[in-house]
Structure 1
Amino acid sequence: MTENELSNHILACAVEVHRNLGGPGLLECVYEEALAWELKQRGFPVGRQLEVPVTYKGHELAVPLRLDLLVGELVVVEVKAVSQYNSIFESQTLTYLRMLNLKLGMVINFGEKLVKDGIHRVVNGL
């Protein structure tokens, strides 16, 4: 399955989660757990809160970054639940993609009235 095909399944799962949880208003961690569960129910491997080591001039820093979700070892998903979207979320996701040598990331903001309006694709050489 390609990154783009997988992203369509992630989008469908996000819509399902948003609808079943009643839309915006919950904490980010609630949407993250529900999205991971929904993806797993559909047979997709999902890693949650994965540590991404940060190296500075050949030295691994003591504090790694934490990735919200990695789906199918191909797509990074950053889960947000904010009323005011910030493009820094996309920069953060692009950093994860570069560090992991992956091509596609998605920022999903469950804080939107319609979650489809909160989907932002981030690409790294795709």
Structure 2
Amino acid sequence: MNENEIAKAIVNAAYNVHIELGPGLLESAYEAYLLYELKDRGLQVVAQKELPIIYRDVRLTCGYRIDLLVEQKVIVEIKSVNILNEVHLAQTITYLKLSNCKLGLLINFNVAKIKDGIKRVINGYL
């Protein structure tokens, strides 16, 4: 699967989770249910993937973690906030750069319609 096909599967899974649970839960709940939904669809998913920083050839573990890494290609950053802001977007961009992934989805589940809570974030070109 390419990044766009994976992203489509993630969006569909997020839609199902949002329909079932609605807004208002903690990020950890949405992460757990989205993880289940993606694995149920046969996708390879790693939750809370550690993301070290390489600085001057020194590997530093600073506590950065990708919420979900799908098929080793697409990062999913999950939020449950009133409104997404620039810091959330910057975090996703940073994770894309540090991981060398090309595509990320920033998903805010605390919305009435999940389509309003999904931002597609690209690192370079797809």
Indicate the TM-score class for this superposition, using the shorter chain for normalisation: over 0.9
Tell me the distance in 1 between the aligned counterparts of 2:107 and 2:7: 11
Q: CA deviation at 1:99?
A: 1.0
Counterpart mapping for 1:79-118 below 5 A: 79-118=78-117
Cα distance change of structure 1 residues 17 and 93 upon mapping to structure 2, 3 Å threshold:
same
Q: Give aligned pairs, total.
A: 125
Q: CA deviation at 1:62?
A: 4.0
Tell me the distance in 2 between the aligned counterparts of 1:54 and 1:64: 10
Q: Does 1:56 pair with 2:55?
A: yes
Tell me the distance in 2 between the aligned counterparts of 1:88 and 1:79: 13
Specify the SS of the correspondent of 1:55. Answer: strand
Cα distance change of structure 1 residues 62 and 77 upon mapping to structure 2, 3 Å threshold:
closer
Deviation sequence 1:83-120 (CA, Å, 0-9, x none):
12112212111111111111000000001111110000
- Note if contact 2:30-2:78 (Cα within 8 Å) is conserved in structure 1: yes
Tell me the distance in 2 between the aligned counterparts of 1:69 and 1:121: 15
- Note if contact 1:47-1:69 (Cα within 8 Å) is conserved in structure 2: yes
Aligned counterpart, 1:66: 65
Normalising by the residue count of structure 2, what TM-score does the alignment of the two structures yield? 0.94
Q: Identical aligned pairs, as a percentage? A: 49
Specify the SS of the correspondent of 1:83. Answer: coil
Deviation sequence 1:54-106 (CA, Å, 0-9, x none):
12333333423111000111100000000121122121111111111110000
Q: Which runs of 4+ in 1 moved over 4 A?
A: none
Tell me the distance in 1 between the aligned counterparts of 2:106 and 2:53: 21
Tell me the distance in 1 between the aligned counterparts of 2:116 and 2:61: 37
Aligned counterpart, 1:119: 118
- Unaligned 5+ segments in structure 1 are none
Aligned counterpart, 1:20: 20
Normalising by the residue count of structure 1, what TM-score does the alignment of the two structures yield? 0.94
| One-letter amino acid matched to 1:60 | R
